[in-house]
Amino acid sequence: MLSKKTKYGLKALTYIARHKGDTPVQVGEIAKSEQIPQKFLESILLTLRKAGILGSKKGKHGGYYLRKTPSDIKMTEVMRVLEGPIAMVPCVSLNFYEKCDDCPDENLCSVHRLMVQVRDNTLYVLRSTTLEDLSGKKYV
């Protein structure tokens, strides 16, 4: 299940991508428009800034802005920053692999085989989707 942190992060990024002009977008504006608790949103945006997805500007006309074009921000990057591993179980994770304690042989495990398929299909969708796709706006 998608966490509220990730859901709100995706909504905020989409809002910023749709924002007209080159001026940074203020947290309060995003929070009000997307109905996200402002303190929670501040934490999410800080996480995205630390990951290099967003930049920020302080001051009266400050706020957050995208550091890359929306077409260059893949959902795999956003999901890993906000949600962590994409795989549902650690034994199929590409970046956070761990052997399952209760599984003597991954090659014979039916759960493992199923979760590899789930991971691969999820990765296909997330790798094929950019912030530009979510925002519904073309950038040139």
Q: What is the pLDDT along the chain (140 residues), one digit of tens a residue?
A: 889 999 999 999 999 999 977 789 999 999 999 999 999 999 999 999 999 999 999 988 899 999 999 999 999 999 999 999 899 999 999 888 989 888 888 889 999 999 999 999 999 999 999 999 999 866 54
Residues 48 and 100 in one domain: no
Q: Do 60 and 40 lie in a common domain? A: yes
d(CA 98, CA 24): 40
pLDDT attached to residue 63? 95
Asked if 98 contacts 91 with a C-beta cutoff of 8 angstroms, the reply is yes
**47 shares its domain with 100:** no
Q: Give the residue from 66, 85, 119 where a domain finishes.
A: 66
d(CA 96, CA 57): 33
Return the pLDDT at 139.
56
Amino acid at 81: V
Counting the structural domains of the chain, the total is: 2
Domain that holds residue 101: 70-135
Is position 119 within any domain? yes
Specify the pLDDT at position 64: 97
**Residues in the chain, total:** 140
Distance from C-alpha of 23 to C-alpha of 18, rounded to nearest angstrom: 12
Looking at residue 104, what is its pLDDT?
A: 87
Residue 105: how many other CB atoms lie within 10 Å? 7
Which residue carries 């203020």 as its tokens? 26
Residue 50 and residue 98 share a domain: no
For residues 60 and 79, state if they share a domain. Answer: no
User: How far apart (Å, rounded) are the C-alpha atoms in residues 18 and 4?
Assistant: 21
The tokens of 115 are what?
A: 């979760």
For the chain, the 3-state helix, strand and coil shares in percent, each to the nearest 5, are 55, 10, 35
- The answer to the question of residue 140 being in a domain is no
The amino acid present at 33, given as its one-letter code, is S
